Amino acid sequence: MIFYHPDCDLRFSQYGIEIPIEDDRAAKVFDFLQRLNPQLTFASLDLYPPLTRQQLMLVHDKTYVDKLFGNVEQLEKAFLVSYELQDINGNYHRYNPATRKNDFFHARNIILQQASLTFFSSKKSLETGFSYFLGGGMHHAMSFGGRGFCLINDIVIAVKLLQKEKLIKNVWVVDVDVHKGDGTAELTHNDPSITTLSIHMKNGWPLNSGNPNDPWFIPSTIDIGIEKGQEAQYLDQLKNALLTCEKQYPKADLVIIVNGADPYEFDELESSSELNLTKEQLLERDKFIYQFFNDRKIPQSYVMAGGYGKKSWEIYAQFLEFVGQSSPEWSKISSR
């Protein structure tokens, strides 16, 4: 099942944020899928209420959650930090409030809606075996605050909510975004029910602060760092890591795949340039993951995570086209 609604797309320029991100990638993927399957419709958002303050507190500190639900100045501060909109001298960086059309309450509500869809999409995968939310994947948000364009950690919140409902016990989070899933690692490192695997650039953000005591260095259950120029070994390393997870950690009742497209060679974000996989390599990656969990009958729930520039939508689209072709259930794949 695919989850998408255009009201969940966060369009940065509306808030005066000048990060060079093509914010229509989810819409492009949805249009592509709708051409393949005209039955595909938008999700009915009234079925999926935005996350609440109490739900956020399952993973985030009260002080931080209070800021997110505080006044406009407190909320702006949280966005300035999470989206890196200030330089070290406190001047605005990639942020021009004069051009904004909506305030940060509007942006926050979209993010709470997105996080709700991550939860409901994951819940649906427990019935259908596969679900894909065209959004979410905010894996850098930590217990104490947002960072790396991630305000809240929708992935860990979804896991905790499903555990609270006693629908699942053990979960794997397989994070193939080009950046380490540091927020997810920080939020789960004391919880043996959540096994985290992150395969990412060995060097560069977020591992370039130079201080190994920084919380972004808290290890995932398994971290695979790929050096620049080692792209040919990427797939084997991923396969080995999944087999190690299977041997050494509790069997998953659910896997959430943080399906970043930013390892793509044509990704336009500067901080993702250390790892450059081709379109074909990324399709191999995604097909391998899909088949690995399909063979083991483990429900799989996907979120988009990073993917920047004009071509990133193609990576999601080619994978979902493959899923559609390989699944006899394709005609039932719909966002309702």
Helix (H) or strand (E) holding 117: helix 104-128
Q: How far is the CB of 283 from Zn ion (least distance, A)?
A: 19
Task: Kindly state the smallest distance separating residue 103's Cβ from Zn ion, in Å.
Answer: 26
| Residue with smaller CB distance to Zn ion, 76 or 267 | 267
- Minimum CB–partner distance for residue 53 and Zn ion (Å): 27
Residue 151 · residue 105 · CB < 8 Å: no
Residue 179 in the binding site for Zn ion (CB under 5 A): yes
With CB under 5 A, what is the number of residues at the site for Zn ion?
A: 5
CB of 21 within 8 A of CB of 310?
no
Q: Does 180 bind Zn ion (CB under 5 A)?
A: no
314 is a contact residue toward Zn ion (CB under 5 A): no
Residue (76 or 182) nearer to Zn ion, CB:
182
Taking a C-beta distance cutoff of 8 angstroms, is the pair 307, 264 a contact? Answer: yes
Other CB atoms within 10 Å distance of the CB of residue 35: 9
Question: E strands of the chain, at which residues?
Answer: 2-3, 130-133, 171-175, 194-201, 222-226, 254-258, 300-303
The pattern of x and - marking residues 274 through 293 that bind Zn ion according to CB under 5 A reads --------------------
Cα–Cα distances (Å) from 252 to 105, 170, 199, 220, in that order, read: 36, 5, 18, 16
Q: Following DSSP, what letter does each residue of 230-260 receive, concatenated?
A: -GGGHHHHHHHHHHHHHHHSPPPSEEEEE--
* For Zn ion, the closer CB: 48 or 205: 205
Between 146 and 260, name the residue whose CB sits nearer to Zn ion.
260
Applying the rule CB under 5 A, the residues between 220 and 279 that interact with Zn ion are: 260, 262
* Region binding Zn ion by CB under 5 A among candidate stretches 50-58, 116-124, 172-180, 296-304: 172-180
The residue from 177, 223, 267, 274 that contacts Zn ion (CB under 5 A) is 177
Binding segment for Zn ion (CB under 5 A), chosen from 32-40, 152-160, 171-179, 185-193, is 171-179
Part in contact with Zn ion (CB under 5 A); list of ranges 14-22, 114-122, 211-219, 302-310: 302-310
- Helix orientation angle between 312-326 and 279-295, rounded to the nearest 10 degrees: 40
Positions in the binding site for Zn ion (CB under 5 A): 177, 179, 260, 262, 306
